[in-house]
Structure formats: structure tokens, C-alpha cells
Structure 1
Amino acid sequence: VVADALSRRPDYAVHKADANAIGVARTSTPSSSLLDDVRSAYTKDADAKQLLDYFAAPSDKSRQKLAKHLRARVHRYRVHNGLLLYSAVDDNADRIVVPDDHELKLRITYEYHDAPTSGHQGREKTYLLLTRDFYWSHQYKWVRKYVRACEVCQRVKPAPFSQAPLQSLPTPSECWQSISMDFVFGLPPDNKRRTGIVVFVDRFSKMVHLAAVPAEVTAKQTARLFVDMVFRHHGMPID
């Protein structure tokens, strides 16, 4: 069995978050500073305070004091080095619980999306990278809103509609029945200071006629070149 390319990528691998050194290679913020801020923010979050109090002295009595939504999932939480860790239903990977702190969530999402080492991965990849290490409620909705508000992503993202397919031109049956014409500018100037060329191409034989033109070439001058270089030698093309 040969693994595909995605399964070989370490950033897609399922693993447990390292609570002591998280994302060092992927973020610009020192992990100790980030984790200290997470710990500090727990003191202002009601759910986090309940869980930390419970795990400090777990018992049936203290479990009953938990809010109902926490009591139903308390078996998925644990504490390590002062950090709350959460294990999702579909895997056993531990993720650091982020308290309900708007600025802290912005900072973490920035590190996984906007930082030079992250490279504006887009909604899905940002979500995958973020949820590998962190957890908070409605995380996907948060990431979707964040990426939608990202100026860089909106400027460079593909158009939301499909482009019309290119239509091929019919192949002519004889020389000089059908021609194409184009200009090329920005070339080194010749002795007459002309920096462009006009190109006439026979679509059947691929024969080419070229003429030097100034950057300010007019439609009248182009028509005169067409007469001198194409019509005079090959007659009037059909198209």
C-alpha cells in the first residue's frame, strides 16, 4: 500500500497537542507566552473555572455542581500543567481549550492564518490546523467569519463562479483564409525608437509577417501595414 501525498504531510497528521511547546515551528509567538495567556484567561471564563475546580478535587458531589452542558461531557476534559485539554468525539487527540476571550481567539487565529509561516491557507486548512491544537465552541463558524473578513484572502481568492470554457476556432482549409493579429510592446528600441512589433499569422500554415511599430501606433497605421504585408501578397482573408 502506497500512502498518498496528503497522508505524508505532517500538518495533516492526527496527533496529540504538546501543551508545553505548541506550534513553535508554525507561529511567531513564543509558546510559553501564548499558553500563559490562555491560563490567565481561564480566570475570566465561567465554564473553565467550573472545570478547573472540578478537576482540582473530582467527586460525584463536585460533578453535580457542574453546569449541565459541562457535566455531560466532563469525561472528555482533563487538566495538564494548568491547561484544560479536550478530546473530540471522533478521535483521541487532546486540544487545548481556549476560554471565551475574543482577543485571545483573534491572536491564535492570526498565528494560524495570517502569520508568514501560515500563508493565508483559507477556511478549510486554517480550521484543520487550528483544531489540531486548540478547541473552543463554534470554532468552524469562527474561522469561516475570520477568513471572510480577511482582506488578503478576499483579494486573491478565486472567483465564486465558473468561467466559460474556451471555444476553439475552426481550422481553415487553405493558407491565408484566416489570420490572427497581435502586438508585442516593451522591446528594446530600434534606430527609429520603435519599441513594438505587429504580428500577422496565417492560422493554417503558421506563416508570420512582422513589422516594427512605435508604442503609439494608430489603427490607421496598422491598417496600412495589413495592406502592405498581407493583402498585397495574399489577398483579403475571409476572417
Structure 2
Amino acid sequence: MIYIRSDCRALQWLLDTKDSSGRLARWVISLSAFNIVDIKYKPGKINTNCDTLSRYPLPSHLTLLNTTSSPPLLNIWDNCTLLDDIRTEQYNDARLKPIVDILSNPTHPLHHKFHPPFILINGILYRYRSPPNNTHQRLTGMRHLLVIPKSLQSQILSWTHDHPTAGHGGREKTLYRLTNRVYWNTMRQDLIQYIRSCPSCQKYKYINQSLNAPLQMHIVHE
């Protein structure tokens, strides 16, 4: 149980109000995760115990950390096996394996049906980019989209949206990242559903849809 004594009067008001909405409602939801029993306002002049705690000396046995050391780097992959994993999962995917088998055999009667739009590069299935005048393609020279099997789609969505370097981008920004690099049939629908179910986005981002009830006619009696 948590009892709070603070010189922030707005904090007490926030927990007492019953009609919060928007950002205030999200703050209330965040605070509800803690077992806060009571919040009382205590003016700063008499709230000296808080200031005392902040000035309490550190124990003498603590050692000073070396501030000149380099911090750990983010997202450094020593041995990246992503392409190998995608190749393996493509062969294990019930929908992609027949396409891979057909493209592996140029004499197959259905080879012309899948090439284009698909192509095998080093045993990995790609899809030709369409349309060819795509701006990202002109800038980067990328012509092919990596076909993602069903088993790895959630992981790709997580890397593109949840990763610390992704920053929980919005729908259009995240979709742009995906459509310029990878491909699967239901990518747009899966991304929309993934972002809607993201706890961090639901807690901290603005709601871009109106929550007001639609206007209705009311019968007025004489």
C-alpha cells in the first residue's frame, strides 16, 4: 500500500477527479497500476522530510564508477542468422514451399506463373517490387522485397514497431518501413491490428478517433 504526501496539489486533484479524459485519463490508468491508498497535499514549507531524504549522504563504502568507460552499444549483432532463419521457415511454410519448389525447377510447367512476380536469390524467396518507379527504390536501388513466412511475421512487426530504434511509430510510418523491405499478403491488416493491441501506444499516444456518441433524435412531448 502506498501513502503519498506531496506538495503537488494537482496530483491529489488528479486522483480525486471523476471526469478525466485524454491525457489525464491515461495518467490515471498508469497510476492505477500502483496500490495508492491515499494522496494528501502537504505544502513545501512543511514538507521538509522529503528534502531531507534527497540530501541524505551516500554510504562511505560505495565506490565511484568510472565515468570514462564507453556505454554498451545498442543492436550490435555478432552472428546474424536472420536470412538463414527466413530461408528455413520459407521451406517449412505450407504456402511458400510450393512456390520455392516451382522456382527451383526452371522446367516446371508452372514456372512462368510465379516468375515474375517472385524470384529465388541464394535460395531465398523474394518478390519483385511494384511499381518500378517507387521513390525508395530509386534512392536505394532495392528491387526485391523479402517474402516473410507466417511464423516470422509477428517478430518482424515487433522489430519494426517495438524495437528501441523503431520508437513505436504510427501506422503509416511503420507501414512505409515494411512495404519498402518485406512482403506478405496481409501485411497492412496485420500491422493495423498489431498497433491497436500495443500496450505502450494505447497508454501514451493520442486517440485519433472521435469518442463522442453520434447525434440522435429525441422525441419531445407536448
TM-score of the pair, normalised by structure 2 = 0.51
CA distance in 2, matches of 1:30, 1:131: 27
CA distance in 2, matches of 1:39, 1:29: 19
Residues 103 and 115 of structure 2 are in contact (CA less than 8 Å); yes or no, is this contact kept in structure 1?
no
2:128 pairs, out of 75, 78, 87, with: 87
Larger Rg: 1
Give CA deviations for 1:37-79 in whole Å, capped at 9, x if unaligned: 1111112223321222122221352438xxxxxx3x5311111
Residues 29 and 111 of structure 1 are in contact (CA less than 8 Å); yes or no, is this contact kept in structure 2?
no
**More relative contact order in 1 or in 2 (CA 8 Å, sep 6+)?**
2
CA distance in 2, matches of 1:27, 1:126: 19
CA distance in 2, matches of 1:61, 1:27: 45
Which residue in the other structure is 1:236 paired with? none
Stretches of structure 1 that go unaligned for 5 or more consecutive residues are: 1-25, 65-70, 163-239
Q: In structure 2, do the counterparts of structure 1 residues 28 and 158 end up closer, same or farther at CA, with 3 Å as the change threshold?
A: farther
2:181 pairs, out of 133, 138, 161, with: 133
Q: In structure 2, do the counterparts of structure 1 residues 27 and 47 end up closer, same or farther at CA, with 3 Å as the change threshold?
A: farther
Which residue in the other structure is 1:75 paired with? 116
| 1:121 maps to 2:162 | no
Stretches of structure 2 that go unaligned for 5 or more consecutive residues are: 1-73, 138-142, 211-222
SS state at 1:118 partner: coil
Give CA deviations for 1:175-225 in whole Å, capped at 9, x if unaligned: xxxxxxxxxxxxxxxxxxxxxxxxxxxxxxxxxxxxxxxxxxxxxxxxxxx
Aligned length in residues: 129
Matches within 5 A, 1:194-213: none
Calculate percent identity across the aligned residue pairs.
Answer: 30
Residues 86 and 96 of structure 1 are in contact (CA less than 8 Å); yes or no, is this contact kept in structure 2?
yes
Which residue in the other structure is 2:194 paired with? 146
Structure 1 stretches of 4+ moved >4 Å: 26-31
